[in-house]
């Protein structure tokens, strides 16, 4: 059984960090030659070629928010990615299973889950091809290694991998090329027995034009909920050679997650007697490792034209437990994923081109055992994916026209267990995803934009299997063949404005997303208790998003964002109950009408800064019935930060839920109608000490 004891000393935690720790002691300051800064700046710009191709350059007519490194540092204290992004961008909500900032965490964008959000890092797709999801917890403390992250809302611009259905999140890692050597060390302790250590180094750009960057880290917590401890380790290494016209870069990213499971919420009665209640057995464990290796080559043909190609391998393996006492089951997953992605950027006067291709092949084995050694099944899923896009913009006067065309092909093959009693089966899909828009610069500080786009998405394995992990003769007839669930598609209209002035930054947009064949949990329960997923004929999500920053008073910054939306499924037949019921104009699950974040940062002195952030989320329904007894209540929480900097040293105090509000971050409704909730943690405090050189 995995346990997480707060008594482990810092030395042991540091030893567990990662194999990059040895390099930390080698990072020492070096003198800087006069031209080294310019060389490093130029190299860093070239490193981001693939990122630029996905983001589409400057005046792209989409709803987006780019969070730069300075803002990441301000918000970051080691929390999982969805918790950091929550509040930093409109229309994004997040929660964790453990009731702490670590462990399995989930985000929703405009009310849609992670399987509908395209996620990339340096242009390399991260969504698991089979289930189209990324478990951020596998890469603990990922944001320590991120230079910037852009969140695109709506269909956005074309990317590699899973469809950008609700939006996309693309990460740009820390640049390898730096003008000089240096490093950073962070030690953290706090509530719930939390401990974190993180160390980084960068070699600087040498005379031979080589550069290295690395970070290793480890974190642990006993969790807020009962027996929900988490332990994570991570390591990143970047190495590059930066010539006059060519760059070769190697990136290694590795992570490990081990925890005691808490993926089931608690009922109100259970929470009334114990706010920390976890219905799962303390012996149910989870342990996964994941690695990403990417080798890229970038060629500069001229000052405005470049081509970058990356080959990558993504792999993961691990197991988790399920107890139905006295029986104990263990499920094992292991995948291998190979791919190549390539992009070209070219500027020719008024014309700008970003074009790219991606192809990958994927295999994942699924095994289940009755412990200790009886095997139930061993099946394999295969997924192949290929896509190409071209983004072209043309500027005339104050107006820039934009077109984005993507073609995509995907194929899923299921290889059943030898004793399953069914034949292998497969399904392929072809998609064409067009987008077009325009931006107009009314004044140097005021811009307007409008865009219309369409994106299609194939069902994930979990959609096809209704939550089952094995398809065999006992359930194949009920689940049907792979044509039972049709692809879903969305038409997205975005209209907005941006205002940039010395004291004010403002962006606001209206959106209308109209869906056809939306895939939802509206079917009858299967024999195992899972709910069949079926296509909803028609649904929509419409709203207004605002994001603003004000700096009108010296040393004070006020910022905030808000989303108001109306969201409806027009009509469907609900087969989840004993009698099929026609439901009309119901709200999609976990889609609040109003979200709002307010932030105030004040620099008391050059060495001392304080900040307060509040977050409001209106009520949301926990399933697609709009029943009053299946509601996630509205809540408001506030966090505070105090940061003190003296020379190379920094101390940060982060207080979460300072009003000690008892609220729920998310919830669910099981097939038998039981309503369960995931709690927000109570008032908590985290202290981080940092050293930079």
- Which among 448, 456, 475 is positioned nearest to 464, based on CA atoms? 475
**CA separation (Å) from 368 to 356, 371, 417, 419?**
39, 9, 11, 13
Query: Phi and psi of 166, rounded to 5°?
Result: -90, -20
Closest CA to 13 of 227, 259, 195, 237: 195
**In this model, does residue 33 exceed pLDDT 70?**
no
pLDDT of the residue at 4: 44
> Any idea which of 138-147, 302-311, 506-515 has the lowest mean pLDDT?
302-311
Q: Which H or E run includes 55? A: helix 49-55
Contact by Cβ (8 Å): 137, 80? yes
Under 8 Å between Cβ of 206 and 79 = no
CA distances from 223 to 98, 196, 230, 314, 321 (A): 6, 14, 7, 29, 18
- CB atoms < 10 A from the CB of 209, how many? 15
Cα–Cα distance for residue pair 625/574, rounded to 1 Å? 8
How many residues appear in the chain?
Answer: 693
Asked if residue 415 has a cis previous peptide bond (ω within 30° of 0), the answer is no
Tokens 């309503």 locate to 675
Say if CB 196 and CB 689 are below 8 A apart: no
CATH of 10-692, one of 3.30.1490.190, 2.60.40.10, 2.40.170.20, 3.10.105.10: 2.40.170.20
- Pure H helices in 274-321: none
Given a cut of 80, whether residue 9 has pLDDT beyond it is no
CA triple 622-624-629, angle to 5 deg: 50
| Integer Cα distance of 90 and 528 in angstroms | 38
Contact 208, 232 (CB under 8 A): no
Sorted by sequence, the CB contacts under 8 Å of residue 162 that are 6+ apart come out as 115, 117, 118, 119, 125, 127, 129, 132, 457
- Higher pLDDT, residue 179 or 552: 552
By C-alpha distance, which of 569, 671, 666, 572 is closest to 622? 666
Closest by Cα among 76, 93, 10, 225 to 616? 93
Q: What is the pLDDT of residue 537?
A: 84
In the numeric block, the tokens 């669930």 are attached to: 485
Which of 583, 586, 463 has the alpha carbon at shortest distance from 521?
463
DSSP 49: H
Contact 653, 690 (CB under 8 A): no
Query: Are the beta carbons of 620 and 632 closer than 8 angstroms?
Result: yes
Calculate mean pLDDT across residues 251-258.
97
pLDDT at 15: 40
Two tokens at 275? 């706010």
The pLDDT value recorded for residue 46 is 63
- pLDDT beyond 70 at 27: no
**What's the rounded Cα separation, in Å, for the pair 403 and 435?**
6
Distances (CA, A) of 374 to 332, 368, 528: 13, 9, 20
- Could you give the percent of the chain with pLDDT greater than 70? 92
The structure's pTM equals 0.92
**How much is the pLDDT for 522?**
84
Residue 393 half-sphere exposure toward CB, CA atoms < 13 A: 24
Is residue 22's pLDDT more than 60? no
- Distance (Å, whole) CA 159 – CA 51: 10
- Rounded Cα distance, 637 and 612, in Å: 11
- Quick one: DSSP state of residue 144? G
DSSP 86: B
- In this prediction, residue 38 carries a pLDDT of 60
Nearest to 453 by CA among 223, 164, 215, 658: 164
What average pLDDT score do residues 29-38 get?
A: 46
Q: What is the mean pLDDT of residues 390-407?
A: 96
Residue 41 banded pLDDT, cuts 50, 70, 90:
low
Q: SS3 of 382, please?
A: strand
| Res 377 pLDDT > 50 | yes
Rounded mean pLDDT, 563-572:
96
Contacts of 158 (CB under 8 A, 6+ apart): 54, 164, 356, 387, 389, 391, 404, 405, 406, 433, 435
399-415 and 374-396 as β-strands: parallel, antiparallel, unpaired?
Answer: antiparallel
pLDDT at 579: 84
Beta-bridge mates of residue 469:
none
Per-residue model confidence (pLDDT) at position 128: 96
Confidence check: pLDDT of 13 > 50: no
| pLDDT score of 25 | 31
Q: Is the pLDDT of residue 493 over 50?
A: yes
Dist. CA 314–CA 339, nearest whole Å = 9
Judged against a pLDDT cut of 50, whether residue 615 lies above it is answered with: yes
pLDDT tens readout for residues 86-105:
999 999 999 999 999 999 99
The Cα 40–Cα 25 span in angstroms is 23
**The two three-digit tokens of residue 455, written as one number:** 């994106």
User: What integer pLDDT is reported at residue 121 of this predicted model?
Assistant: 95
Q: How far apart are CA 94 and CA 103, in angstroms?
A: 12
159-to-91, 136, 341, 483 alpha-carbon distances in Å: 21, 19, 10, 26
So what's the pLDDT on residue 672? 87
pLDDT recorded at residue 455: 97
Residue 246 has pLDDT above 80, yes or no: yes
Give the tens place of pLDDT for each residue, 66-83. 999 999 999 999 999 999
Buried b (16+ CB within 10 A) or exposed e, 596-620: bbbbbbeeeeeeebebebbbbbbeb
User: For position 3, what pLDDT does the model report?
Assistant: 43
Q: Taking 60 as the threshold, does the pLDDT of residue 34 lie above it?
A: no
| The Cα angle at residue 178 between residues 174 and 181, in degrees rounded to 5 | 110
**Rounded to an integer, what distance in angstroms lies between the CA atom of residue 686 and that of residue 665?**
20
pLDDT digits (tens, 9 = 90+) for 276-325: 999 999 999 999 999 999 999 999 887 789 999 999 999 999 999 999 88
Query: In the numeric block, which tokens belong to residue 257?
Result: 């997650």
Yes or no: say if 627 and 621 are a contact pair by the CB < 8 Å rule.
yes
User: Per-residue pLDDT for 23 more than 60?
Assistant: no
Beta 531-553 vs 504-525: how paired, if at all? Answer: antiparallel
Residue 2 reports pLDDT greater than 50:
no
Q: For the residues 109-128, what does the mean pLDDT come to?
A: 95
Q: What per-residue string of b and e applies to 44-68 under the rule 16 or more CB within 10 Å gives b?
A: bebbbbbbbbbbbbebbbbbbbebe
Of the candidates 656, 681, 677, the one whose C-alpha atom is nearest the C-alpha of residue 278 is 677
Identify the H or E element spanning 319.
strand 305-324
Q: Is the pLDDT confidence value at 136 over 50?
A: yes
Residue 53 has pLDDT above 90, yes or no: no
Dihedral over Cα of 147, 152, 155, 158: its sign: negative
Beta-strand ranges (E) seen in 420-530 are 425-441, 446-457, 488-500, 504-525
**What average pLDDT does this structure show over 454-468?**
93
- Strand, coil or helix: what is 214? strand
């Amino acid at each position: 059984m995995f346990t997480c004891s707060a008594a482990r000393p810092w030395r042991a935690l540091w030893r567990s960090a990662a194999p990059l720790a040895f390099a930390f002691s080698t990072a020492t300051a070096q003198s800087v030659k006069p031209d080294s800064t310019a060389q490093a700046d130029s190299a860093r710009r070239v490193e981001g070629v693939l990122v630029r191709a996905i983001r589409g350059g400057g005046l792209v007519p989409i709803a987006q928010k780019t969070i730069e490194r300075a803002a990441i540092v301000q918000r970051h204290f080691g929390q999982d990615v969805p918790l950091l992004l929550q509040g930093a961008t409109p229309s994004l909500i997040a929660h964790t299973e453990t009731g702490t900032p670590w462990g399995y965490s989930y985000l929703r964008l405009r009310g849609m889950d992670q399987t509908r959000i395209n996620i990339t890092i340096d242009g390399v797709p991260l969504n698991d091809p089979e289930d189209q999801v990324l478990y951020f917890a596998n890469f603990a403390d990922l944001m320590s290694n991120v230079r910037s992250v852009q969140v695109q809302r709506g269909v956005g611009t074309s990317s590699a991998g899973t469809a950008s259905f609700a939006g996309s999140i693309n990460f740009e890692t820390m640049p390898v090329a730096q003008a000089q050597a240096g490093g950073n060390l962070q030690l953290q302790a706090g509530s719930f027995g939390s401990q974190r250590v993180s160390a980084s180094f960068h070699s600087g750009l040498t005379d031979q034009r080589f550069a290295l960057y690395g970070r290793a880290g480890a974190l642990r917590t006993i969790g807020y909920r009962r027996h929900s401890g988490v332990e994570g380790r991570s390591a990143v290494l970047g190495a590059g050679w930066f010539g006059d016209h060519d760059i070769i870069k190697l990136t290694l990213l590795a992570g490990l997650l081990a925890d005691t499971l808490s993926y089931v919420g608690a009922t109100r009665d259970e929470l009334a007697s114990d706010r920390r209640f976890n219905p799962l057995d303390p012996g149910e464990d989870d342990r996964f490792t994941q690695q990403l290796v990417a080798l890229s080559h970038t060629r500069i043909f001229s000052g405005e034209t470049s081509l970058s190609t990356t080959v990558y391998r993504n792999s993961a393996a691990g197991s988790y437990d399920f107890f139905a006492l006295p029986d104990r089951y263990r499920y094992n997953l292991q995948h291998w994923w190979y791919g190549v992605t390539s992009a070209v950027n070219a500027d020719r006067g008024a014309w700008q081109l970003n074009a790219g291709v991606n192809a990958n092949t994927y295999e994942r084995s699924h095994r289940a055992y009755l412990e200790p050694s009886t095997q139930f099944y061993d099946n394999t899923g295969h997924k192949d994916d290929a896509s190409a896009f071209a983004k072209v913009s043309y500027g005339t006067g104050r107006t820039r026209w934009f077109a984005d065309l993507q073609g995509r092909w995907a194929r899923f093959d299921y290889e059943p267990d030898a004793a399953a009693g069914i034949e292998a089966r497969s399904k392929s899909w072809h998609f064409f995803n067009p987008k077009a828009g325009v931006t107009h610069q009314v004044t140097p500080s005021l811009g307007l934009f409008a865009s219309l786009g369409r994106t299609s998405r194939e069902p994930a394995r979990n959609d096809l299997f209704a939550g089952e992990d094995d398809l065999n003769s006992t359930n194949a007839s009920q689940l049907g063949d792979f044509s039972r669930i049709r692809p879903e598609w969305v038409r997205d209209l975005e209209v907005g404005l941006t205002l940039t002035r010395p004291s004010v930054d403002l962006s606001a947009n209206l959106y209308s997303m109209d869906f056809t064949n939306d895939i939802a949990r509206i079917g009858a329960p299967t024999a195992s208790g899972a709910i069949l997923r079926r296509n909803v004929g028609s649904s929509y999500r419409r709203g207004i998003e605002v994001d603003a920053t004000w700096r009108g008073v010296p040393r004070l910054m006020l910022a905030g964002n808000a989303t108001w939306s109306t969201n409806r499924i027009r009509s469907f037949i609900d087969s989840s109950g004993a009698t099929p019921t026609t439901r009309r104009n119901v709200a999609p699950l976990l889609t609040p009408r109003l979200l709002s974040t307010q932030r105030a940062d004040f620099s008391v002195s050059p060495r001392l800064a304080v900040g307060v952030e509040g977050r409001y989320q209106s009520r949301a329904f926990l399933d697609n019935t709009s029943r009053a007894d299946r509601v996630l209540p509205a809540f408001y929480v506030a966090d505070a930060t105090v940061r003190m900097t003296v020379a190379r040293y920094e101390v940060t105090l982060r207080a979460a839920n300072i009003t000690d509000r008892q609220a729920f971050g998310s919830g669910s409704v099981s097939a038998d109608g039981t309503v369960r909730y995931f709690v927000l943690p109570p008032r908590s405090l985290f202290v981080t000490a940092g050293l930079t050189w």
